Amino acid sequence: MALVRPTDLGGVIPAINAMADQLERWARGELPPVIDPKVLGSWLDTGGVTLGKLATSYSDAPPGYSVALGLSTVPVVVGATTEATATAIVTASSFTADGARSVIVTFVAPAIQNTAANSIALCLYDGSTSQGQISLTTFPSAGSFAGPITAATRFIPAAGARTLSIRGFVNASNASVIAGTGGGVGLFLPLIMRVDVY
């Protein structure tokens, strides 16, 4: 039986070399990040950054670009009983918004534990003002665990310097613990908050 050889084998090596060249250019920052062409097209149509350049401001950042991050490596005891006095859980770094583009705010915690039957609400704060609740967890009895917790929302911050945070409060004077540590064998990973341009 004769060995069947593809007729276009001569084009394979040049194609692989061309792909390698493109990857090298992308790694050096000469090409834009690989994202959905429809998203990239609409982003460029609305005045996005020049191809091959990194975003230098909130206004020229592509969709999905992280503008602020927050991290906590210690468990947080939430004892506040009102939204107005909510306990700070994690605060993201400050960024400057343009007042027009929205952001997606995501919060992740490995677990929440309660000390009694209660509910805990997580809120998105912009500075010292609550923008609303993004999560509500109800515990039927003491010592219950819930998790991991992931909460996200879309939000349009006002123009200017913004500092967003996730805060929590319980419905009774029974504290809940938002679990998070520095990680390691047998330990929870950190609490994370991420703010991405939409």
pLDDT in tens, 160-172: 999 999 999 998 7
Is 4 a domain residue?
no
CB atoms within 10 A of CB 30: 12
Name the residue with higher pLDDT: 57 or 54: 57
Q: Are 97 and 162 contacting, i.e. CB atoms less than 8 angstroms apart?
A: yes
pTM: 0.71
DSSP conformational letter for 183: -
Q: What is the pLDDT of residue 76?
A: 93
Number of domains the chain is built from: 2
Region 23-40: mean pLDDT is 58
Domain span at residue 46 reads 10-54
Alpha-carbon distance of 98 to 84, in angstroms, equals 26
* Whether residue 48 is found in the same domain as residue 71: no
Is 131 a domain residue?
yes
Q: Is 97 exposed, middle or buried (0-12, 13-18, 19+ CB in 10 A)?
A: buried
Residue 43 pLDDT grade (very low, low, confident, very high; cuts 50, 70, 90): very low
- Mean pLDDT, the chain, whole residue set: 80
Residue 65 pLDDT grade (very low, low, confident, very high; cuts 50, 70, 90): confident
| Residues found in the chain | 198
| Contacts (Cβ under 8 Å, ≥6 apart) of 164 | 68, 70, 91, 92, 105, 124, 125, 126, 155, 157, 193, 195
Q: What is the pLDDT of residue 11?
A: 57
- Show which of 38, 54, 70 is a domain's final residue: 54
